[in-house]
Amino acid sequence: MKDVRWLLISEILYTLIVIATCLRIIYDTRSTTKTLAYLMLTVFLPVAGIIIYFCVGTNYRKRKLYSKKIIKDEQVQLKITDQIYAESRKIWATVPPEIEKYRKLARLLLNDGLSYLSGNNKVELLLNGEHKFEEVIRALKLARNHIHIEYYIFEDDHIGNTIKNILIRKAKEGVAVRLIYDDFGSRSIRSKIVPELIEAGVQAFPFYKILFVALANRLNYRNHRKIIVIDGCVGFTGGINVSDRYINAKNTNSGQQQTSSQEKQVYWRDTHVKITGSGVYYLQYLFICDWNFCADEELAPDPDFFCEPEEHSGSSIVQIAASGPDSDNPTILFSLIQLIGMSEKEILITTPYFIPGESLLDALVVAALSGVKVILLVPGESDSAMVAAAARSYYMELMTAGVEIYQYQKGFIHAKTMVSDQQISVIGTANMDNRSFELNFEVNCIVYDGKVAADMSATFYQDLKDSKKIDSEDWEKRPLYRQFPEKVARLLSPLL
């Protein structure tokens, strides 16, 4: 009798927990699709569904992980805000007519993230790790005041140790070196590289330290940014982490041979960008915000952090889009939708993970049906079977609207880029999926420059030569046993 009573009490308690969780999901989740997915998971997957929701589904945009305000004085904050708007208006008044049509995009980023337009920047495209690290190492060695580095993946391998040694040497020379690393993505450096850096005088902190008590939630919210700022005037960002896997050359930057396992690795195609000029200021701002969240000290804005760029350093106008659980809106998603909507002739997209969600999917379909040439380049082979299956479930709908889809065959394509009408380019860290738009801390660089866009476009079409176009008729005729797992994965796509 007692067993029956306890069973009844347990069932009542569990029912109440399920009801409470469902109410929390309905109240807390903005997307209808995600709401239904989490409700189904909670109801039809006993206990585990509730655990999964509280691990990965909680809306931290409503409960910001930290404040991005680094200036406490309200009057000073308002003065700087006015200066940012004035600087953006001044730059916009001098832009060429062909860039004028992107005013709405610039205003969106200015209003939503206080990301101002910066002119006279020199922007250099860095294709693949062998080119990126060559430039990074050269710039690090020239540092005189400070080096700020923030990475999702920083590995204990050849290139990781090469950069570690440079950071140690610069710290001993009196350069202030600060490192933020994601505690999940950079877990290989915790026990060796980080202690060596700290011992040499480098300040190093995990962005969001993983504790067993809150393991799953802290794994869910990752700092996916890749940022380097040197002396306040030179910056790097893009898709390339600090890892040997991104380097395709047989020799590393120091001239030493890679191991045989590295030589046999898959070809890794990625894109990064180097910025010289005031376009670096917002990258610096993001770093200071992230530093003040994770470090033991509060880093106040210093004039040395925002140096005066060399006059006529370049001709590119740069704006930074950043978002994460700390932002009011999915700014990066909004910026991509806005850019797609303003495109008139051509949209070239490269992404390794493509789970667009309804709003981005609709934007691409509308653009294609409106006569805009839309080409999507994705990996031929993915490193995530579930994500790849979910991505494939969107292909037919896109191709029916006229979108061309290519699968990269040479290796793994990891670049996250977009080019619109050969006039504006996006190079960054954000994939086209729910994790990048809602859960990760991400950053994209937007370049208003026809020459850079032309170079990006040429690179894209070169990548298409190493890719295979999906034939829509053959794709539609695929057997049901291949399509069914993709449909299931799409149902779960809000959770991926």
Q: Known catalytic residues?
A: 224, 226, 231, 414, 416, 421
CB 349 within 8 A of CB 377: yes
CB 52 within 8 A of CB 495: yes
Q: How far is CA 333 from CA 2, 115, 320, 432, 444, in A?
A: 55, 15, 13, 8, 11
CB 178 within 8 A of CB 146: yes
Helix (H) or strand (E) holding 358: helix 357-369
Q: Cβ neighbours of residue 17 under 8 Å, at least 6 residues apart?
A: 50
CA 397/CA 393 separation, integer angstroms: 8
Helix (H) or strand (E) holding 218: helix 215-220
Torsion of CA 308, 140, 312, 237, to 10 degrees: -100
CB 350 within 8 A of CB 416: yes
Position 351, amino acid: T
CB 359 within 8 A of CB 335: no
**Two structure tokens written together for 32:** 């209808």
DSSP class of residue 325 equals T
CA-nearest of 154, 338, 339 to 246 is 154
Position 183, amino acid: D
From the CA atom positions of the chain, what is the Rg in Å? 23
**Two structure tokens written together for 378:** 């994705």
247: left (phi over 0), alpha (psi -120 to 50) or beta: beta
Question: DSSP states of 415-433 as a string?
Answer: --EEEETTTEEEEES--BS
